[in-house]
Structures are given as C-alpha cells and as structure tokens.
A and B are shown apart, each in its own frame.
Chain A
Amino acid sequence: MRVPASSVLFEQLALPLLPALYSHAFWLSRNHAEAEDIVQETIAKALRAFSSFQTGTNFKAWIFRILRNTFLTSRTGIAASRTVFLEDLADLLEVTDTNPSPEDHLLRLNNQAALTEALERLHPQLREVLLLCEVEELKYKEIAIVLDIPVGTVMSRISRARRTLYEDLRQQLGGSV
C-alpha cells in the first residue's frame, strides 16, 4: 500500500517534537498518564487537520496550539480555566520597588526552592506563557499563534508573569526593599 506523502511529511515534522509536546502536556496537566493522553489526542487531531496546515509555516506553533486546545478541553484543563484571568488588570501586580539592590536580586534568585514555590503559585495562564517562552523557547509571534492572542498580549503577559514572580519572591524572603 502506498503511503500518502502528507502522512510521511507529518511524521517527519511531528516526531522530533514529541518530547517537547509531552513535556508541555505534563506541565499543563501535572500528570504523566494525562500528558500521554493529551499528546495522543493532539496527534490524532493534527493528523486529521494536517491538510489545512500550510507547509513552510510554523509547524511547532501550529501543533502546540492544537495541544493547548486539547488540554483546555480535558478535565484538568476545564478545571484550570475556571479561574478567570483578567487581562485588563494591567497594574494590579505592578512592583512598586523600582530600585532594588543587586544583592537583593541575587538572594532571591539563588533560592531555587523559593522560586519553585513562586512558580507553583503563578496563575496557570502566566505559567503557561512562561513555559512556552523559557522551556520551549518559542518566539512571541509563535506563542501568539499557540495561545491565539495578539503579540502585544504575549509580551505583557510574560512581563506580568515575571513581575508576579518577583513580588512573590520578595514576600517569601521578607525583602524590605
């Protein structure tokens, strides 16, 4: 039986991304079995929709978007999305301190446990955008495709995620700056 060229191309494009897809699915769901389920469903959906994918465009962003939508419609995803994220509250988490000393920063950032806790407390949507940026090293434009939001929103969301982390670390470590 002759294998369609599109199937071969899909395999070539998707195979190298499996570890990244799995990792991201795990970070979203925090569960290995669910991560595998999400990636499986993502592959199935992507295969069905592959004819609509334009060769030459960003396959990673395209399939990560399918993965994200798959997660959001999963049980864990639905539960996580119940917390409303208000994009408008731009200055809610504004860090008031604009002049911390370098020692303060080093103290905070060298404390990996404190950072891990801060990351855990981060709103899922802020954590998600950081993951795509720091772990998957996607460009803002690619993240915008994945999250289906404007590039400007990606920028502000990443920025807010970092400020939230700073604020959390400051409170955890009792910084008085």
Chain B
Amino acid sequence: MIQDHKHLSHDEASAFIDGELSASAALDLEQHLTTCHSCTMLIVSAMQLKAATARAYERVVAPPEALSRLAAQLRPDAAKRPARVSFGLWAWGALAASVILVASFIGWRQTRQSNNLAAELLDQHLAVLSSGAPPEVISSDRHTVKPWFQGRLPFSFNLPEVLPDGTTLNGGDLTYLHGQPAALLLFNIGKHRASVFLIQRSRNGSASVSSGSQSGFVIQYAKTQDLGITAVSDVNPSDLALLMSALVEAQSPR
C-alpha cells in the first residue's frame, strides 16, 4: 500500500511497471504519482530502462538447422532415441558407433571377399562350360597335365594316381584368382563338369574342408599345408567330395 506521505520503493516501482501490483495497490500508486514529482520520475526512468533493456536483449534467433534438429527431437518416434546432450555422452556414443561400424565393415568385407571369391570361381567355371574352347592342356593323363604347369606356377601340386569311379581328368589351364596364379583342373564326374582351382596358400593356416553353394552350384573348399583347393560343380555334393578327398590325399607327403 502506497501512503501519500511515503515515496515508493524501488521494488514497488519495478512491480508497478511490470504489472505485478494488485489492482488496489496500483490504484494507490497512481494516485500518489499525481502529486509526487520524484516518484513519477522514478517510474518514468524505470519504464525507459525496461524498454531499453528489452531492446538490448532481443531474443536470439536460432539457426534454422538447429531449430529443425530440435523440432525433430520433439516428434514421438524420435523421442525414444536418446538425445545428444553432453559432449561426453555424445563422444562415447560416437566411439561406440565407430566400433560397431568398423566391426560391421570388417565383417562385411570378409563376407564380401568370401562372396566375391565364390562368385569369381563360379564365373570361371561357367566360362569354361560355355566357351566351348578347349583348355590349354588337353589330357586325361596326370603325367602330362602336371608337368605343363611347371614354370607357369610358383608352386607345385600332385594329382591322384587313381580318381574316384566315374571321374575323369579333362585337362588343365592357367588362371588367376585375386591376382594370384592358380591351376584350373577340369574334371568330368559322370556327365557333370567340375572345375578345381589350386592356389598357393601360406603355411600358417591349418588344413580344413568346407563347402557352400551358390546359384545351384556346389562349391567345396579344402586347405592342405601348401594349397588351397576349391571345386565348383553342379554334381552331387558327395561325388564332388570324393574328388576333393582324392586331391587332398594326393598332396600329403608320401
């Protein structure tokens, strides 16, 4: 309550210009101002300062892209994602994401390399089947085929003395897999054709056999101490496995 004999306080002046006084208190103050020059000047000054402060402190306009990101965060589907807030959280999140990304990339690359190799082998097998062109060396005699590769390959391999029943050697050719020279051996298993690729491999891997299929063709892999052997055919997998076993067996030192 503003008394006639008392000047208004600064708090009251502020509250008055901010419209925070009760209706009755504001009425009392206005009545006081009609008779008090100093209090009127205080109110005028306070109003000028308020206006000047508002001008000096205009609302900062957010960059449009920042507003877009913030608005996106409000959407219910986006709300479930943890918001990027502190740098620490963000950094750890980014690090985790990087690890996952790198791991995924490595996995993807390995898968892709494996798929690429399978596709490459299959392509070569189909190329041999479709071209009708004879291989460089045409012979069912292992004593002819093996020597032909000497000097053409940086490694040597053995051919089985006896092939599984119904399997014949048709010949061989020089080819390349992933830029490495490889021996391509062509077999007939019954009425099916089989392409067998032999490539040099490092000695530190253990021998193993695995298989897969692509586009209806069977692909079987075998590792010996020195060689990687891959067979591609549309023959019954068990028949192809017999040929693979014979080839692997032939590489063992006698």
Contact = CB atoms under 8 A, between A and B. Distances in A.
A134 B62 contact: no
A44 B58 contact: no
A162 B10 contact: yes
B54 A105 contact: no
A3 B42 CA distance: 54
Given A43-B83, A134-B50, A140-B18, A22 B57 contact: no
A67 interface: no
Contacts of A3: 76-77
Interface string B41-72: 11011101110111111111111001101110
A176 interface: no
A119 interface: yes
A18 B79 contact: no
Contacts of B48: 105-106, 109
Contact of A18 (B45, B56, B71, B86): B71
A81 interface: no
Given A102-B41, A105-B44, A32 B56 contact: no
Contacts of A1: 77
B56 to A, nearest CB: 5
Contacts of B60: 22-23, 26-27, 35
Interface string B16-32: 00101000000000000
Given A106-B48, A119-B53, A155 B74 contact: no
B66 to A, nearest CB: 5
Interface string B68-100: 011101111101001111110000000000000
Nearest to B90: A37
B49 A165 contact: yes
Residue of A32, A119, A134, A139 with highest tally of chain B CB at under 10 A: A134
A8 interface: yes
A124 to B, nearest CB: 13
A8 B76 contact: yes
A133 B86 CA distance: 28
Interface in A139-158: 139-140, 155-156, 158
A79 B14 CA distance: 30
A133 B12 CA distance: 15
B15 interface: yes
A22 B62 contact: yes
Interface string A69-107: 000001000000000000000000001001111100110
A82 B175 CA distance: 75
B38 interface: yes
Nearest to A10: B74
A177 B17 CA distance: 24
B146 interface: no
A11 B67 contact: no
A139 B59 contact: no
Contacts of A139: 20
A37 B18 CA distance: 32
B11 interface: yes
A109 B49 contact: yes
A155 B14 contact: yes
24 contacts: A1-B77, A3-B77, A7-B76, A18-B67, A18-B74, A19-B62, A20-B59, A22-B62, A22-B67, A23-B62, A35-B60, A36-B70, A40-B84, A41-B86, A44-B82, A109-B52, A116-B56, A119-B53, A131-B57, A134-B57, A158-B14, A158-B18, A165-B53, A166-B45
Given A10-B79, A19-B62, A109-B48, 20 more contacts: A4-B76, A14-B74, A15-B71, A18-B62, A20-B59, A22-B70, A98-B7, A100-B41, A101-B41, A102-B45, A105-B48, A112-B56, A119-B56, A135-B57, A140-B15, A155-B11, A158-B18, A159-B11, A162-B46, A163-B10
Which 8 residue pairs are nearest across A and B when measured between Cβ atoms?
A41-B85, A7-B76, A22-B62, A44-B83, A159-B14, A23-B59, A105-B45, A23-B60
